[in-house]
Each structure stands twice: as C-alpha cells, then as structure tokens.
C-alpha cells in the first residue's frame, strides 16, 4: 500500500458549499441543488489537520460553485489557514464555473489571499451548450463577464474545459479561443461518465486521438498556451529512462465535504453512495485528525482495490510508465468497482494523447 499511495497529500479539495446555481448537463455533483455550507469550525479542523511535516499543499476550493457560499463566509473559511498561508505551507486555488459573478470585491479577496483562479469554460459559445443555469439559459456571457473582470484587474487565471463529442473535431478553434481569452494554461477533461453524469456521451478513442493530434499540432505552432496533457507527456519524455521507469505515488487528494466528511482518491466520490463501498467516507475532520484519516486509508475497500488494480496496470499495460494508473473515480463510475484497469477515461486522456503524438512523429519521420 505504502508503495502506491503518498502518505502526505499535495492537494486538498475543500467544498465550501454543495450549491451550484448552474445545471450543466454533464455535471457529476449529486447535491448541487442543496444549500449546505461549510462552517468556520470545519475549516479550522481542516487547517489544524495539515501535518507539520507536510510539504506545501494546494487547497482547492471547489464545489458546488465555491463563490455561491458568498464573500463573507468565504473569507471566514480562509481565516484558519492564514498562518499556514503566510508561512508558505498552504496556497489557495478556487475553481469557479462562473455560476456567480466575479466582482471587484471577489478580486480583492483573490489578491489579498493570493488565491489562484481557475475558470471552467469549454471553448467558443457554440461548444458551451452544456453549461446552462437552472432555467436552461446559457451561462456563456456571464462566464465571459467574470473573465473580463479578472483581466481588467490583471488577475491571471487558468481554464478547465470539458471536451464533448462535438468538440473533438475542433481542437484548433478551442485553443484559438483560449489564447484570445487571455489564459496561459488549459486542462482538457474529455467527457466521461461520473457521478450524476452517468448517461454522459463519452467520445470514442478515435475521436479523442483526432482531438489530441490537432492539439499537438496547434501547440507546435503556438506557444502562448500551455496544455496540461501536452506538457505532462512532453515532460515525461524529457525524463531519463531511469526516472521514466520509476513508480510514482498517487496523491490521496483528501476531499473535505461541507460537513467535514472526507473521501479519498477522487473528489467526484463526494456525496455518492454504493452498496459495496457505502458512502466512501474515510472519516470526519470534526472527529478525527486529517493526517490520521489519510494514514489509515488502507483500511478502506475502495483504496485497497484501487492500489491492487495499479499493480495489475503495471503488469499488463504498455502505457503504465507514463500513466501510473490514471484516476480512481473513473474506474468506479464506469465499472462499479475499483478492481479494474482500463477505462474510457484512460483510453481518451492517457492512451489517446500518446498514440496521437506517436502518429505525428511517425508521419514526420516518413516524410
Ligand atoms: S492507461 Fe489505463 S490500463 Fe493503462 S496504466 Fe493507465 S489506467 Fe491502467
């Protein structure tokens, strides 16, 4: 177990509220219609649980829509982390879907607490048809208005974009849009079946390959936007053979719900129930120290199954040295168990980029 899972997280995901005013058709959050908010007492317990020996951690405020908790409560939730932030042991990030306006007052908070900002937008207007409010109205203009505020205030932002079937043929248009938007970093999530999005349409690996081929080509001609998946793969190829062959440890990514419940490995497991794995909750920070909850993770069936499956991945998959086993949650959402290896997610987001780059290099070599 110790071989596969890091004892100290590098990332903690914190859910200030379950509520999201949006109703994106591919959203995985089951409780997004409920207004359940984290109290400062829970935030204090999270901060107190960050072990003194831990390396600096990124605290990602994710939701629901994190801004939906309101500015006053959000600032209250930040206070317990202040001594850690000032000692550079914690840095904050907020990932907003644009479901609440990004105002100057929010920008003041981002600046004061040195909060990294991530925005979710899927590309040009026509590719954002999944991103709607509760009345089914498009969110695009409201998200763009928030981004304009960030730009006016010179606050840098990253972008997470979901790539659905209809976006797989439009990589260049999406990346042109991202560059013109003013971001320098984009992470692409190929649509997958997760949580409440159990009916999601997952693109085929051939469509994903086309998307990644076009993405590599775009990145070859443009260097103003870093694409997470391209950067990860090129970074891996730049390693020595010895480091490429070494196993890396998975971040347990403790995700703390509004009420202090902690799930491990995958934020998407929050609020999910299963006959086999119950509620995935590893403990509650109001009752137990976060470090202790992480340390006894190997008692959980889903963690045991995932780490055993990593061993199988290592024995059987030719992509393992780059992949290191991909995401845990996708195994469960696609197959109902963690005791499997291949998923649509790993085919489309790990195997497809590798195959796409190999095809491009092969084509270049044969010219
Ligand atoms: S690509 Fe899939 S099957 Fe291969 S190592 Fe990664 S998760 Fe396992």
Angle between helices 104-112 and 71-78 (to 10 degrees): 0
Please give the pLDDT value at position 193: 66
**324 Cα–ligand 1 center, Å:** 7
How many residues in total does the chain contain?
367
Would you give per-residue pLDDT tens digits along the chain (367 residues)? 448 899 899 999 999 999 887 777 777 667 777 788 999 999 999 999 998 889 999 999 997 899 999 999 999 999 999 999 999 999 999 999 877 899 999 999 999 999 999 999 999 999 888 888 888 888 899 999 999 999 999 999 999 999 998 899 999 999 999 999 999 999 999 987 665 555 567 899 999 999 999 999 999 999 999 999 999 999 999 999 999 989 889 999 999 999 999 999 999 999 899 999 999 999 999 999 999 999 999 999 999 999 999 999 999 999 999 999 988 999 999 999 999 999 999 999 999 999 999 999 998 877 7
First to last CA, the chain: 47
Spatial separation of the C-alpha atoms in residues 66 and 61, rounded to whole Å = 6
User: What is the three-class DSSP state of 196?
Assistant: coil
Phi, psi of 146 (to 5 degrees): -65, -40
List pLDDT tens digits, range 226-275.
Answer: 999 999 999 999 999 999 989 889 999 999 999 999 999 999 999 899 99
Picking from 14, 302, 330, 96, the residue whose alpha carbon sits closest to that of residue 193 is 330
For a mutational test of ligand 1's pocket, the pick from 313, 322, 332, i.e. the residue with the most ligand atoms closer than 8 A to its C-beta, is 313
Residue with tokens 């040009």: 124
Kindly report the number of other CB atoms within 10 A of residue 192's CB atom. 25
For a mutational test of ligand 1's pocket, the pick from 324, 326, 339, 355, i.e. the residue with the most ligand atoms closer than 8 A to its C-beta, is 326
Please give the pLDDT value at position 130: 83
Q: How far is CA 148 from the centre of its chain?
A: 23
Task: Pick the residue whose CA is nearest to atom 6 on ligand 1.
Answer: 325
User: What is the three-class DSSP state of 207?
Assistant: helix
Picking from 336, 334, 338, 337, the residue whose alpha carbon sits closest to that of residue 347 is 334
Task: Pick the residue whose CA is nearest to atom 7 on ligand 1.
Answer: 325
Please give the pLDDT value at position 92: 98
For a mutational test of ligand 1's pocket, the pick from 212, 351, 355, i.e. the residue with the most ligand atoms closer than 8 A to its C-beta, is 351
Please give the pLDDT value at position 138: 86
Question: Does 214 contact ligand 1 (Cβ within 6 A)?
Answer: no
**314 Cα–ligand 1 center, Å:** 8
Alpha helices in the chain (DSSP H): 40-48, 71-78, 82-86, 104-112, 140-152, 171-181, 205-221, 228-237, 241-245, 290-295, 301-316, 320-323, 328-335, 344-346, 352-365
Regarding beta strands 261-263 and 255-256, do their DSSP bridges make them parallel or antiparallel, or are they unpaired? antiparallel
Question: Does 352 contact ligand 1 (Cβ within 6 A)?
Answer: no
Residue with tokens 């971040």: 251
Beta partners for 59? 12, 92
**Residue 295 burial by Cβ neighbours in a 10 Å radius (0-12, 13-18, 19+):** middle
Question: Does 342 contact ligand 1 (Cβ within 6 A)?
Answer: yes
Question: Does 350 contact ligand 1 (Cβ within 6 A)?
Answer: yes
Q: From the alpha carbon of 350, which atom of ligand 1 is closest?
A: 1
**309 Cα–ligand 1 center, Å:** 9
Percentage of residues of the chain with pLDDT beyond 70: 96
Instruction: Kindly list the strands in the beta sheet with 255-256, ordered across the sheet, starting from the edge strand earlier in the chain.
Output: 226-227, 185-190, 157-163, 116-120, 90-96, 57-61, 11-14, 255-256, 261-263, 283-284
Q: What is the mean pLDDT of the chain?
A: 92
Question: Does 320 contact ligand 1 (Cβ within 6 A)?
Answer: yes
**327 Cα–ligand 1 center, Å:** 9
Please give the pLDDT value at position 232: 96
Question: Does 313 contact ligand 1 (Cβ within 6 A)?
Answer: yes
CB distance 19 to 68 below 8 Å: yes
Task: Pick the residue whose CA is nearest to atom 4 on ligand 1.
Answer: 317
Beta partners for 261? 284
Task: Pick the residue whose CA is nearest to atom 3 on ligand 1.
Answer: 342
Please give the pLDDT value at position 279: 95
**172 Cα–ligand 1 center, Å:** 27
Question: Does 351 contact ligand 1 (Cβ within 6 A)?
Answer: yes
**350 Cα–ligand 1 center, Å:** 8
Q: Looking at residue 4, what DSSP letter applies?
A: T
List pLDDT tens digits, range 295-313.
Answer: 999 999 999 999 999 999 9
Spatial separation of the C-alpha atoms in residues 144 and 316, rounded to whole Å = 45
Question: Does 341 contact ligand 1 (Cβ within 6 A)?
Answer: yes
Please give the pLDDT value at position 110: 98
Please give the pLDDT value at position 348: 96
Q: What architecture does CATH give domain 11-245?
A: Alpha-Beta Barrel (3.20)
CB distance 306 to 321 below 8 Å: no
Spatial separation of the C-alpha atoms in residues 214 and 203, rounded to whole Å = 15
Token digits of residue 157: 């932002």
């Amino acid at each position: 177990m110790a071989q596969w899972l890091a004892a100290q997280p590098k990332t903690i995901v914190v859910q200030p509220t379950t509520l999201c005013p949006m109703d994106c058709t591919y959203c995985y959050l089951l409780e997004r219609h409920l207004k359940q908010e984290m109290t400062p007492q829970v935030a204090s317990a999270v901060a107190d649980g960050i072990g003194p020996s831990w390396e600096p951690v990124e605290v990602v405020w994710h939701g629901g829509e994190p801004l939906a908790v309101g500015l006053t409560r959000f600032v209250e939730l930040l206070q317990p982390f202040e001594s850690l932030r000032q000692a550079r042991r914690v840095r904050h990030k907020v990932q907003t879907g644009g479901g609440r306006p990004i105002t100057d007052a929010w920008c003041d908070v981002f600046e004061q607490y040195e909060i990294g900002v991530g925005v979710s937008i899927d590309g040009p207007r026509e590719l954002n048809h999944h991103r709607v409010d509760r009345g089914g109205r498009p969110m695009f203009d409201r998200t763009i208005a928030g981004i304009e505020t960030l730009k006016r205030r010179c606050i840098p932002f990253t972008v997470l974009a979901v790539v659905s079937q209809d976006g797989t043929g439009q990589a260049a248009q999406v990346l042109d849009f991202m560059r013109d938007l003013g971001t320098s970093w984009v992470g692409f999530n190929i649509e997958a079946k997760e949580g409440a999005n159990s009916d999601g349409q997952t693109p085929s690996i051939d469509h994903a390959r086309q998307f990644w081929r076009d993405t590599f080509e775009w990145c070859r001609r443009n260097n103003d936007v870093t694409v997470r998946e391209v950067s990860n793969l090129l970074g891996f190829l730049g390693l020595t053979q010895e480091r490429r062959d070494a196993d890396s440890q998975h971040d347990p990514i403790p995700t703390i719900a509004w009420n202090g419940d902690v799930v491990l490995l995958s934020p998407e497991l929050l609020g999910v129930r299963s006959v086999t794995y119950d509620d995935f909750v590893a403990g509650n920070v109001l009752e137990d120290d976060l470090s202790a909850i992480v340390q006894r993770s190997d008692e959980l069936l889903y963690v045991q199954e995932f780490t055993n499956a990593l061993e199988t991945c290592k024995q059987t998959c030719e992509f393992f040295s780059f992949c290191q086993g991909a995401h845990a949650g996708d195994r469960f959402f696609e197959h109902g168990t963690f005791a499997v290896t291949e998923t649509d997610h790993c085919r489309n987001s790990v195997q497809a980029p590798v195959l796409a780059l190999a095809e491009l290099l092969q084509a270049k070599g044969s010219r």
